[in-house]
Amino acid sequence: MPAIQVENLTKRYGARTAVDDISFSVEEGEIVGFLGPNGAGKTTTLRILTGFQPATSGRAFVAGYDVFNEGIRVRENTGYLPESTPLYREMRVHKYLTYRATLKGVPRRLRREYVESAMERCHVIDVRDRIIGHLSKGYRQRVGLADALVHRPAVLILDEPTSGLDPNQVRDVRDLVKEISVDTTVLFSTHTIPWVEQVCERVIIISRGRIVLDGTLSDTRKRVAPWSRVEIHTSAVARDAMEVLDKLERVFFVENLTIGERTALRFLTSKEQVNDACADAEDALSSISATMGEPIVGDAMVEDLFTRLTRGSEQVVVRA
């Protein structure tokens, strides 16, 4: 049985469907990125998997246990880091971790050893006697991670483990998660793509409560390989330019990148037709008497697929 198995899971809040009939599985030892824009249903799904909330319908198994009937077993074998890393701020780091280890059923004789090794793994040894509330956000995040893995769970579920961190802290946490994934199954949610590209083998993209992509990273890269991304500058107003470009047959998914005065746009097109597409774009812009600068052509990236899948109208389910 896979480490995580989700079957036709649905969660409704009144009339709103937060998670809409999703199914996926995570094999033992895998590290999987659960990707989606805010409000796509990531947190809800993770909360269901950790037994914090039940689903409206469907089934889920974590570490071989039924989430709805064997909640305690699931939680004994799962480490969970909720979004925003809630911690008891008045406690000292090692006392907090010892308390958490006790709650999670680590036997007394092993507790000290488990806590020490969790602190070591997460590099919080040097703040072990500090009060959690006095720590920086980066350290608190690592204490949260140490808490999630202190009982040596088979499965680690992390909800947005890097939100609100600065780039250095993001890198620290990312490396840490990579280290942990050596002997633990990891499912983590995020809305930033580089993260996923650097640590994951597989990615699941969720949008509006539905899974729009589920595949390995190399498959995903293959999928974007025939595509180019083109960036152009134009003298037209962004809205007008997007309107005419959207009508073109060889131009897909026009995005507005404008920051300064000059309008900057990005679109996708197939690699073979990239020159034609650029010509089409120039013609279209000149029809509204605007000029277009030299286009910058590059390979499409996973990020482009993500934007397309989560914001575009076309929603294709691809399974590895």
Partner 1 sequence: MSRLFALTRRELEAHFFAPVPYLVMFLFLLMTWMFFVVQTAGAHIRVSFQPVFESLTFVLLILVPLLTMNSVAAERAENTLETLLTAPVRDWQVIAAKWLGTFSFYLTMLVPTLVYWAVLVYLGRHIGKPDTGPVLAAYLGAMLLGGLYIAIGIFASSLTENALLSAFLAFFTLIALLVVAYIPEVSSLLPDSVGESLTYLNQQEHFAVFLTGKIAAYDVIYFVSMTAFFLFLAVRALESRKWR
Q: Interface with partner 1 by CB under 8 A: which residues?
A: 47, 50-54, 72-73, 75-76, 78, 80, 82, 84, 86-91, 99-100, 102-105, 108, 147
The distance of closest approach from Cβ of residue 203 to partner 1 in the complex, given in angstroms and rounded to an integer, is: 24
Residue 279 CB partners (closer than 8 Å, separation 6+)? none
Residues pairing with 266 in the sheet: 231, 255
The distance of closest approach from Cβ of residue 55 to partner 1 in the complex, given in angstroms and rounded to an integer, is: 10
The distance of closest approach from Cβ of residue 53 to partner 1 in the complex, given in angstroms and rounded to an integer, is: 6
The distance of closest approach from Cβ of residue 51 to partner 1 in the complex, given in angstroms and rounded to an integer, is: 7
The distance of closest approach from Cβ of residue 320 to partner 1 in the complex, given in angstroms and rounded to an integer, is: 29
Identity of the residue numbered 190: T
Which residue has 């507005």 as its token pair?
Answer: 256
Q: Which is nearer to partner 1, 88 or 296 (CB)?
A: 88
What is the C-alpha separation between 38 and 262, in angstroms, rounded? Answer: 29
Q: Which is nearer to partner 1, 108 or 239 (CB)?
A: 108
Q: Which is nearer to partner 1, 78 or 190 (CB)?
A: 78
Determine contact, residues 176/148, Cβ cutoff 8 Å: no
Which residue has 């993260």 as its token pair?
Answer: 195
Task: Show the tokens assigned to 250.
Answer: 């060889």
Count CA atoms within 13 Å of residue 18 on its CB side: 19
Distances (CA, A) of 148 to 70, 75, 85, 228: 19, 11, 10, 41
Determine contact, residues 209/180, Cβ cutoff 8 Å: no
The distance of closest approach from Cβ of residue 193 to partner 1 in the complex, given in angstroms and rounded to an integer, is: 26
Residue 130 CB partners (closer than 8 Å, separation 6+)? 92, 93
Q: Which is nearer to partner 1, 52 or 171 (CB)?
A: 52
What is the C-alpha separation between 215 and 67, in angstroms, rounded? Answer: 24
What is the C-alpha separation between 257 and 266, in angstroms, rounded? Answer: 7
The distance of closest approach from Cβ of residue 189 to partner 1 in the complex, given in angstroms and rounded to an integer, is: 14
Q: Which is nearer to partner 1, 78 or 220 (CB)?
A: 78
What is the C-alpha separation between 310 and 39, in angstroms, rounded? Answer: 11
Q: Which is nearer to partner 1, 114 or 252 (CB)?
A: 114
Q: Which is nearer to partner 1, 92 or 178 (CB)?
A: 92
